[in-house]
Chain A
């Protein structure tokens, strides 16, 4: 085994090893110390992965093909993986102490997070259909289990089962697509498939291949929760434990976008009819409109975040469309920047929501957060800031993210899409501000007891707060990092 290969798969190796170790911790260490030990171990694992990914990114000069082209270590994949690992790191910090409220054995929870992260990383660097499909399943199966990890809550179980059934249903369509693509080309590697689809010898089977690509797209639209197949998102987000929802809303979405981007950039030239592009445009518009308007009428905060997450998916799709319209020199930094900011904001918002929950009850309705800004000043401030940022108020990172996307769309002459995007973003300000208003809404004749929250929620929200603030004021640093 040569050193390049080893370096390329080092993140995967670290995550696998640490995941297994964390599982074993439970067997050898007594219960009281187990939780802390497992926490430190998995934290170290994720940080080591991040370091390894960073070093690969810094020393990256040419795309590295491993295992005969099954994995491709390139700039895009590494950048996506870093965003994912950052999200996973924050979720881990958040879950310390909290985890035993939803599941008895912390080690199992942490190891599932690590394995899901492993699947996501493999997904972002996968370069053939089989690696892609299996890593997608590693990620999905781990997240199905995480959604149902709170065994005593019927709601959690049901959301897990619903997620599993619909996820497997979409996987079946994805597989049908892969079957058609394989039938048309006889290849599994992305590059080989592209070549075969474009070659003359395969001309009679080209339409079968395109049909397969469309079916794969259908599977993807489900995974990212875009318009026609978004119905599962709010139900699953609502039922799953908040911490898992934070993980799903950020990391899973980022990973799905990473592979969607790779697939689109590889294949959309093979589609001469332009069907994929026009379908994607329609989906983008409908996703932005639907997500924002459904979020307006929600009374449950988790459902609201779910619908607004659908809207954010729409904005990222818009950025992808803008990048695709210039295939010679695609500029994907707006996508990466937006995903980075979105991950930070969402995890931050969840950190505050989880931190604010009292006595095992999760924060759900607007009434639950009424007057939070008076109960805990710092927490209220953070929460208001995160929701301002999600709404895209100027001087926050959320604003910069949206700004770059709309700028890219306008410079690529996608005026109609940009206008729809901006209008729906204005609509979104209303429901985000509604939350902020509730934060500082006082009931008459009532005194609010101040309360303290645990350090890890404060740490996670403080870290994300700093990062979001920093990226909002100096977005060029984020750009430099991701470029």
Chain B
């Protein structure tokens, strides 16, 4: 039997290397279609790392939203915009490019320094025995990051047969405001995308 700790190490290494490689490919590839495919391929290992972080619900959403929706959106636009005709580009000067190289290089060099300096001791994975001692039951520990728990986080603890109490719990929840605002945000985005991208027969001249 493999030691579970070693297994997570190997998996983490594997997924992070693939994530980095595919992200690099997104940035480097000449053809936008290749970029968009690399984008999806870089999202998959990241979702897998989320699972290692005990965040299964987020991992699923990551795949559904990014690989399912955003990727489709990108591919659709690539098909629509017919890139063979012209390059759709933003004008950028040479000095600008050099500057950004310097900034990014500096940032990358700073990364290990920052992390080792700012995070004093190595923090490794929480041991299962330690974790279990903090939770009241094993079931509760395994439910970490589940849909149920996140729902509780947003809407407060559910109360059966007492709507007043349930309402009160929701009103005490800090997360409900941002949740509702996010729904408004998505509506604004839908309206905006419709305003900007639709065509009318009359307008086409």
- Seen from chain A, the residues whose Cβ lies within 8 Å of a Cβ on chain B are 1-2, 5, 16, 23, 66-71, 103-105, 108, 111-112, 115, 118-119, 122, 126, 128, 130-131, 133-135, 137-138, 141-142, 144-145, 148-149, 151, 161-162, 165, 188-189, 204-205, 207-208, 211
Contacts and interface: CB of A to CB of B under 8 A. Distances in A.
A128 B174 contact: yes
Contacts of B200: 104
B65 interface: no
A238 to B, nearest CB: 15
A103 B196 CA distance: 10
Closest 7 CB pairs of A and B: A145-B192, A130-B178, A68-B174, A70-B177, A134-B181, A70-B174, A134-B178
B178 A70 contact: yes
Interface in B183-205: 184-185, 187-189, 191-192, 195-196, 200, 203
A137 B174 contact: no
Which secondary structure dominates chain A's binding surface?
Answer: helix
Contacts of A130: 174-175, 178
Contact of B174 (A112, A145, A188): A188
Contact of A141 (B114, B120, B174, B192): B192
Interface in B26-40: none
A204 B175 contact: no
A310 to B, nearest CB: 19
B34 to A, nearest CB: 21
A149 B203 CA distance: 15
A418 to B, nearest CB: 33
Interface stretch (B5-13, B51-59, B137-145, B165-173): B165-173
B178 A141 contact: no
Contacts of B178: 70, 128, 130-131, 133-134
Given A118-B184, A128-B174, A151-B196, 9 more contacts: A1-B171, A103-B195, A122-B181, A131-B177, A141-B188, A144-B192, A151-B195, A204-B119, A204-B121
Nearest to A145: B192
Most buried by A among B117, B181, B192: B181
Nearest to B173: A68
B174 A189 contact: yes
B70 interface: no
Given A5-B171, A134-B182, A145 B176 contact: no
Interface of B: 90, 114, 117-121, 167, 171-178, 181-182, 184-185, 187-189, 191-192, 195-196, 200, 203
A145 B167 contact: no
Given A142-B192, A149-B195, A211-B114, A134 B185 contact: yes
Contacts of B191: 23, 108, 111-112, 145
A138 B181 contact: yes
A130 B195 CA distance: 28
A67 B192 contact: no
B185 A137 contact: yes
Contacts of B90: 161-162, 165
Nearest to A161: B90
Contacts, number: 95
Given A67-B171, A67-B172, A141 B177 contact: no
Given A112-B192, A145-B192, A204-B121, A131 B181 contact: yes
B185 A138 contact: yes
Nearest to A105: B195
A69 B167 contact: no
Nearest to A152: B203
A458 B176 CA distance: 43
Contacts of A144: 192
A161 B77 CA distance: 15
B172 A68 contact: yes
Contacts of A148: 196
A30 to B, nearest CB: 16
A161 B181 CA distance: 23
A67 B176 contact: yes
A16 B196 contact: no
A149 B193 CA distance: 10
A16 B114 contact: no
A130 B182 CA distance: 10
Given A68-B173, A70-B177, A208 B185 contact: no
Contacts of A68: 171-174
30 contacts: A16-B184, A67-B174, A68-B174, A70-B177, A103-B195, A104-B203, A111-B191, A112-B192, A112-B195, A115-B184, A115-B187, A115-B188, A119-B184, A122-B177, A122-B181, A126-B177, A130-B174, A131-B178, A131-B181, A134-B178, A135-B181, A138-B188, A141-B185, A141-B192, A142-B188, A149-B196, A161-B90, A165-B90, A189-B174, A207-B117
B173 to A, nearest CB: 6
A104 B203 CA distance: 10
A128 B120 CA distance: 27
A204 B120 contact: yes
Contact of A1 (B114, B121, B167): B167
B185 to A, nearest CB: 5
B154 to A, nearest CB: 11
A72 to B, nearest CB: 11
A149 B178 CA distance: 27
B74 to A, nearest CB: 15
Contacts of B177: 66-67, 70-71, 122, 126, 131
A133 B182 CA distance: 10
A134 B181 CA distance: 6
Contacts of B203: 104
Nearest to B202: A104
A137 B192 CA distance: 13
B150 to A, nearest CB: 13
